Chain A
């Protein structure tokens, strides 16, 4: 069963809709990354998919609430409960016998020594990891994670992605919002949002290959409106193509898509 949203529009008022006709598919065993800048609509999309009450138009395909694992951007951990009590609450709410799974997930997330620590006393990164563990606890069919690695150190980030990978390997459909493009490259497919609209969708390789025009490497850009720095040098987009084009990567494709949408830089 494929989960997701079709032609989803969310309008909070104030002119521009938060989401405008967005479609997202989440297939079992695959990781779908939702990327985009601040205010792109990532969180709104994930919240509607998870079932948070938000007035919206369009179709939502989601499993029964017992089969959804959702981690909001705030991690979702109850701050006044310990790590173990948080796990117990989620398991009880789902009437799920977490058994050894809770311990296994805590081990994998590096949280096993902190079972008795209050969630509010965990570091920001540890609390994010706890949020991922809570969302995965009941082995959901659809796992929705809103920026799980924001504020997480590089080692913990790889731990989180190992957890995400293990969920997908177990047949879960995973939807992850992220602001990091290197993480989007690990996903099976990605959906890029900009100003509430879907700008790009497909596998990272397809998205990169479909980039219009060419990207060149320059010491000094000739058109600063279409250039962005990388290290000590510049990348520049030439919509008409170029004989000295560099092989584009996902970052190039995403920035070009935003430039093409008139985002400017």
Chain B
């Protein structure tokens, strides 16, 4: 038994990535769950419009935080502010007072309704976009992203690293193929499967869970494409720094797990401390969740989604570009081998 235990310890000591994961993961999970994994809402972004907007704003109490105060705006503008994700609650003052709550922002909506005591008297809050406050309606669109993320990151990283492990990557490197052909060929099946998964999950989600799809298919498709590029890029990137499939899976889990917890898919971003929220802003799923919930539930058009779109495209370009750069270095003999061009006759 002593021999066996000693052998395991020696192997474990040399597997630095596993040791790092065993030590770092509990710490990360503790910090994430301690700080970020909160359902209690301390801050509700509130828009106040209409002639008495300023008066109502001054009477607002925590957790309501006025982010838009516009005496010239009316009922439609209030609804638009919620649709565009600029506020979670909108208070309309004037002759036809109203309070609207964004039902797509589930926990914030529930919290707002519970603490509605300081809303204008006699006004019944109306829940927009998800009137039943259905969990499925909020989760299913986000799960589309989660499935794409897991599939794109884990499966892609395995597919490429398998070539390395079986020793066939070096043969690909010497075949008369342009590196962009190898990369495109390598990624194309995963991209296609990703698109198939996307359609499948969306259709099943809509049919089985009765989730509405109110927005533009094209906005959804464009967002999905950018997100898919980002996750495929992360997958290829992982494969270029992993020697074995085991290492690739470990890294992929370390990349996927924080996105599940910090992207706003489960825990609202507004309840996370600002430091943790900055981590969220570096994760592609954060932006995809905003886009996909906007499209599914609120029919948000492209315009108001420009910021998450730009962020997602930026991240996709960065991850995909870096992955291609590293993959190309693995495949390009002349550059990496520093053999003079004239010598490679």
B344–A60 CB distance below 8 A: yes
Interface assignment of B337: CB less than 8 Å from any CB of chain A: yes
A79–B166 CB distance below 8 A: yes
Interface assignment of B339: CB less than 8 Å from any CB of chain A: yes
A67 to B176, CA, bound (A): 9
**A93 in complex: contacting residue of B177, B330, B336, CB < 8 Å:** B177
Contact residues, A67-112 vs B (CB, 8 A): 68, 70, 72-79, 90, 93-95
Given the known interface contacts A65-B174, A70-B171, A93-B177, the answer about A57 and B338 at a Cβ–Cβ threshold of 8 Å is: yes
A59–B343 CB distance below 8 A: yes
Interface assignment of B345: CB less than 8 Å from any CB of chain A: yes
A66–B170 CB distance below 8 A: no
Closest A residue to B338 using CB positions: A55
A92 to B336, CA, bound (A): 25
**A74 in complex: contacting residue of B166, B173, B336, B340, CB < 8 Å:** B166
A60–B166 CB distance below 8 A: no
**A53 in complex: contacting residue of B166, B177, B330, B340, CB < 8 Å:** B330
A252 to B344, CA, bound (A): 37
* B interface bracket (residues with beta carbon within 8 Å of A): 20 to 34
Q: Which residues of B contact A95 (CB under 8 A)?
A: 176
Stretch at the interface among A12-20, A44-52, A172-180: A44-52
A56–B344 CB distance below 8 A: no
Q: Which residues of A contact B176 (CB under 8 A)?
A: 64-66, 93-95
A70 to B170, CA, bound (A): 10
B339–A60 CB distance below 8 A: yes
A63–B173 CB distance below 8 A: no
Interface assignment of A54: CB less than 8 Å from any CB of chain B: yes
A78 to B159, CA, bound (A): 13
Query: How many residue pairs at the A-B interface have CB separations less than 8 Å?
Result: 77
Interface assignment of B86: CB less than 8 Å from any CB of chain A: no
Closest A residue to B181 using CB positions: A93
B333–A53 CB distance below 8 A: yes
Interface assignment of B329: CB less than 8 Å from any CB of chain A: yes
Q: Which residues of A contact B170 (CB under 8 A)?
A: 47, 52, 72
Interface string of A187-199 (1 = CB under 8 A from B): 0000000000000
A134 to chain B, nearest CB (A): 9
* A interface bracket (residues with beta carbon within 8 Å of B): 20 to 34
Q: Which residues of A contact B340 (CB under 8 A)?
A: 59
B327 to chain A, nearest CB (A): 11
Given the known interface contacts A66-B176, A74-B166, the answer about A56 and B171 at a Cβ–Cβ threshold of 8 Å is: no
B337–A76 CB distance below 8 A: no
Given the known interface contacts A62-B344, A62-B345, the answer about A50 and B166 at a Cβ–Cβ threshold of 8 Å is: no
Q: Which residues of A contact B171 (CB under 8 A)?
A: 70, 72, 76
Q: Which residues of A contact B339 (CB under 8 A)?
A: 48, 56, 59-60
Interface assignment of A117: CB less than 8 Å from any CB of chain B: no
A55–B336 CB distance below 8 A: yes
Q: Which residues of A contact B168 (CB under 8 A)?
A: 72, 74, 76-78
A93–B175 CB distance below 8 A: yes
A234 to B176, CA, bound (A): 50
Q: Which residues of B contact A93 (CB under 8 A)?
A: 175-177
**A65 in complex: contacting residue of B167, B175, B345, CB < 8 Å:** B175
Given the known interface contacts A53-B332, A70-B174, A94-B175, the answer about A76 and B167 at a Cβ–Cβ threshold of 8 Å is: yes
A60-B343, A72-B171 given; 13 more Cβ-contact pairs under 8 Å = A1-B345, A51-B173, A51-B337, A53-B332, A53-B335, A53-B337, A55-B336, A60-B339, A60-B344, A62-B344, A72-B170, A93-B175, A94-B176
List residues of chain B with CB under 8 Å of any chain A CB.
166-168, 170-171, 173-177, 329-333, 335-340, 343-345
The 3 A-B pairs with the shortest beta carbon distances in the complex, nearest first, are: A74-B167, A53-B336, A65-B176
Q: List 24 A-B contacts (CB under 8 A).
A: A1-B345, A48-B339, A51-B173, A51-B333, A51-B337, A52-B170, A54-B337, A59-B339, A59-B343, A60-B337, A61-B345, A65-B174, A65-B175, A68-B174, A72-B168, A72-B170, A73-B167, A74-B167, A75-B167, A76-B167, A77-B168, A90-B175, A93-B175, A95-B176
